[in-house]
C-alpha cells in the first residue's frame, strides 16, 4: 500500500493523528470531517495514497464509491437527514485542500443554510454544444 509520510490523511489512516472513524476495511477508510458542514459530514478515502480523481486507480475508485453509498445510507438512517450531498473536489481551483483523494458525504437538512453552488444562468446552447463536443473528443 502506497502511503505518503507527509500526508495528513495517510497519518490518520496509520493512527498517528486521531480521528472519529466511521468505517474501515483493507482498502478504504472513512472518518468524520473536523470542520463539518453538518454533524456527520464524512470523508471516504482510499488507504493507498493518490492525489485526486485523475490519479486514483479504477479499482480504488470503485471500492471508495461503494463505501460512499453505504455511508450515505447510514447518514440518512442514523442521523435522520433529509438528504445528502456527495462531493469530490479535485485540484486547488475546485476547492481541494488535502491532496489525498477523498469524497465528502454531507448530511443535509431542510433550511440548514448550506448552499453548495449556484449555477450560471444564461449559458447559450452553442456554448453547451461546444463544451459537450470537447468532452466527447477527449474521452
75 half-sphere exposure, CB direction, 13 A CA radius: 29
For this structure, is 102 an active site residue?
Answer: yes
Task: Report the 10 Å Cβ neighbour count for 21.
Answer: 13
Going by DSSP bridges, is the β-strand pair 42-46/28-32 parallel, antiparallel, or unpaired?
antiparallel
**From 20, 102, 104, 118, active-site residue:** 102
Cα gap 81→42, rounded to integer Å: 13
Cα gap 124→59, rounded to integer Å: 37
Q: In what order do the strands lie in the sheet with 103-108?
A: 21-24, 28-32, 42-46, 103-108, 83-87
Phi, psi for 131 (deg, rounded to 5)? -65, -45
Q: Active-site positions?
A: 102
Amino acid at each position: 500500500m502506497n502511503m505518503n509520510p507527509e500526508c495528513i490523511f495517510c497519518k490518520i489512516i496509520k493512527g498517528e493523528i486521531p480521528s472519529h472513524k466511521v468505517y474501515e476495511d483493507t482498502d478504504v477508510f472513512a472518518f468524520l470531517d473536523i470542520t463539518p458542514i453538518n454533524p456527520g459530514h464524512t470523508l471516504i478515502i482510499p488507504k493507498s495514497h493518490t492525489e485526486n480523481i485523475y490519479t486514483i486507480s479504477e479499482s480504488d475508485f470503485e471500492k471508495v464509491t461503494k463505501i460512499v453509498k453505504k455511508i450515505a445510507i447510514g447518514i440518512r438512517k442514523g442521523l435522520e437527514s433529509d438528504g445528502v450531498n456527495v462531493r469530490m473536489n479535485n485540484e486547488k481551483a475546485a476547492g481541494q485542500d488535502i491532496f489525498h483523494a477523498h469524497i465528502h458525504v454531507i448530511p443535509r437538512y431542510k433550511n440548514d443554510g448550506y448552499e453548495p453552488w449556484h449555477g450560471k444562468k444564461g449559458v447559450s446552447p452553442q456554448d453547451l454544444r461546444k463544451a459537450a463536443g470537447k468532452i466527447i473528443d477527449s474521452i
